Chains A and B, each alone.
Chain A
Amino acid sequence: MSLFEKFLKAISKNISPSVLSERDALLLSKLDPHKIYVENVRSILGVSSTEAKRILETAVRQGIFEKRVEVTCPDGSVAASAESEEALPNSVHCWREEDGQLEEVDLPTDSLTKTVFYRLYERSASPVPYSRTA
C-alpha cells in the first residue's frame, strides 16, 4: 500500500464515507503525511477544528498517526520537534534580525509557542526527499 493510500485510509476511516468527496481525496493527497496540522484537515474536509482534531486523535489511538509537538521561534520558524512538550530541548536555536543583520540566539523553550502536528506513524511511513510544510 502506498504512503498516500495509508494516509487516505487513516483519514477516511475516521469520517463518514459520504463526507469524503473525490475533491477532498485529491486535496488530502497533496498534504505531506509527515506533517499534518489540524487546520489542513479542517479546511479540506470543511469541518470544525474540534471535529478535525477528533479525526486526527482517533487516528493516533488507532496507531496510524503519531502526535508530535514543535516549538517555534519568535519569527514563526520551527526550531525543534519531539513526541511531547517534555521531550523538547530546554533551549532552542533561533535567528533574530537586528539592524539589518541576522544574529543567532538560544532561547528557553518554555518562553516559546508550541504547535501540535500529526504524522503517519514512522513504521508505516517511508522517507521522502522533500518535506513540504503543510
Chain B
Amino acid sequence: MDKRLVLLPRVPILKKASVEDRQRLLGLFPVAKLRVSFTSKSSKEAICKAAAKSSDQANLDKIADFADKNLNTCKQHIHVFSHAGDAVLPDSLQGGERVIEAEDHAFYLVRVAFDVVVLAELKKAKIEFLWPVRIDIDPKYMVVRFIVLEKNLSAYFDSPTLVQGKSLDEEVIVSGILADGTLSAADLNKGIKELWASDSFDAVRTRYKKPRSVAWEAMDEEQGIKQCNPALYEELRTKPMYLTAFKSRNDESSIQAFTSDPTNGLIGFTQYSKEGGDSDELIRKILKGN
C-alpha cells in the first residue's frame, strides 16, 4: 500500500454492497492482476467469487486497495483539467463515495445501474455496478480516470441483452466535479504533439481544425500519419487537434494504442495494458511536455 494512503474507516458503499456487486467490481479487472493479488490460479470468475465473499473490513480494504492500484491497467477514459493550484480532491462524486484518500489522489466507487432487455425472454432487467473512478491532483492538473464499462452485458445474463439506459454517465459525474468553478478542461495539444514528435507513437486518424472547416483524416490500414504523410504531420503541428488515435511504433510496448482529444483535455486507453504503470507514465509524459 502507498505511503500516506488512508483507507477511509467508513466505506458504506462497499460494506453495503452485495457479494455480486463486489464480484462484478473485481470482474472489471484483468485476470492476470487478480491472480497475483488474490494468489490464485483459478478462473477469473472463481477468483472474483471467492474474493468478494467476505464483508470483513480487512477484505473490503483489500478489494478497495486492489481496485485503486489496478485501475490503470484497464480500459480508461481520462479527463484532464487545469487549475490555478487551488483545486481540491472532491469529498464524493455524484452517486458515489470516496473510498481511499491519499495526499495526491483519491479513489471513488460510484453506483451505476443499467436497464437492459434480456432478448431471449424479452424481459426487462436491471444490473448495478460499482464503478471505479480515480482522481489524481498536482499543482497544475486534476486527472479524472474512469474505467470504461463494457457495453455488452450479455455475459451477466447468459443471454444477448440490449442496454436501454443507465442511471448516470461520465458527463454527469464530471459536471459535478466542475461545479465549484476552479477547473477547466486542459489543452493538451502541446504535450500530445511533443509525445508524437518523440516517435514512440504515430497518429493513425485525427480530426483537426482548419481555418474554415473541420477536417478528418483516417489513414488506410492504420498507417502512421507522421511516417506516411509527413506533409500532413507538419500541417498538424500548428493546428488544434480533436479526437485522434495513436498506435505504438514499438510492438513490444505495453501500451499499443491510446486516443486523445487534446483540445478538450481527453485521453483514452482502448485496451487493457500489461503494466498499469505504463499508462501512468504515458499520462505523466503528456503532462510534462504540456
Q: Which A residues have a C-beta under 8 Å from some C-beta of B?
A: 35, 70, 75-81, 93, 95, 97-104, 129-133
Contact = CB atoms under 8 A, between A and B. Distances in A.
B221 A130 contact: no
B229 to A, nearest CB: 6
- The prevalent SS among residues of A at the interface is strand
Interface in B219-248: 219-223, 228-231, 243, 245
A10 to B, nearest CB: 22
B221 A100 contact: no
B222 A93 contact: yes
Interface stretch (B30-38, B98-106, B135-143, B265-273): B265-273
B218 interface: yes
B257 A104 contact: yes
Interface of B: 77, 148, 151, 169-171, 205, 218-223, 228-231, 243, 245, 257, 259, 261, 264, 266, 268, 270-271
A70 B218 CA distance: 14
Contacts of B243: 97, 100-102
A131 B228 contact: yes
B245 A101 contact: no
B231 A130 contact: yes
A61 B171 CA distance: 57
- The prevalent SS among residues of B at the interface is mixed
Contacts of A132: 229
A130 B270 contact: no
Given A70-B220, A76-B218, A93-B222, A101 B228 contact: no
Contacts of B261: 100-101
Contacts of B231: 130
Given A93-B222, A131-B223, 11 more contacts: A35-B220, A78-B220, A79-B221, A79-B222, A95-B218, A99-B170, A101-B261, A130-B230, A131-B220, A131-B228, A132-B229
Contact of A102 (B222, B228, B268): B268
Contacts of A77: 205, 218-220
9 contacts: A77-B220, A79-B221, A81-B220, A95-B245, A101-B77, A104-B271, A130-B228, A131-B228, A133-B220
Given A77-B218, A95-B205, A131-B220, A101 B259 contact: yes
Nearest to A104: B270
A79 B222 CA distance: 7
A114 B25 CA distance: 41
A102 B244 CA distance: 8
Given A130-B231, A131-B228, A101 B266 contact: yes
Closest 3 A-B residue pairs measured CB to CB? A77-B218, A78-B220, A102-B259
A81 B230 CA distance: 23
Give the one of A78, A102, A130, A133 with max B CB within 10 A. Answer: A102
Contacts of A99: 169-171
Nearest to B151: A98
Nearest to B228: A131
B172 to A, nearest CB: 12
Contacts of B222: 79, 93
A101 B230 contact: no
A77 B264 CA distance: 24
A102 B218 contact: no
Give the one of B151, B169, B221, B223 with max A CB within 10 A. Answer: B221
Nearest to A105: B270
A102 B220 contact: no
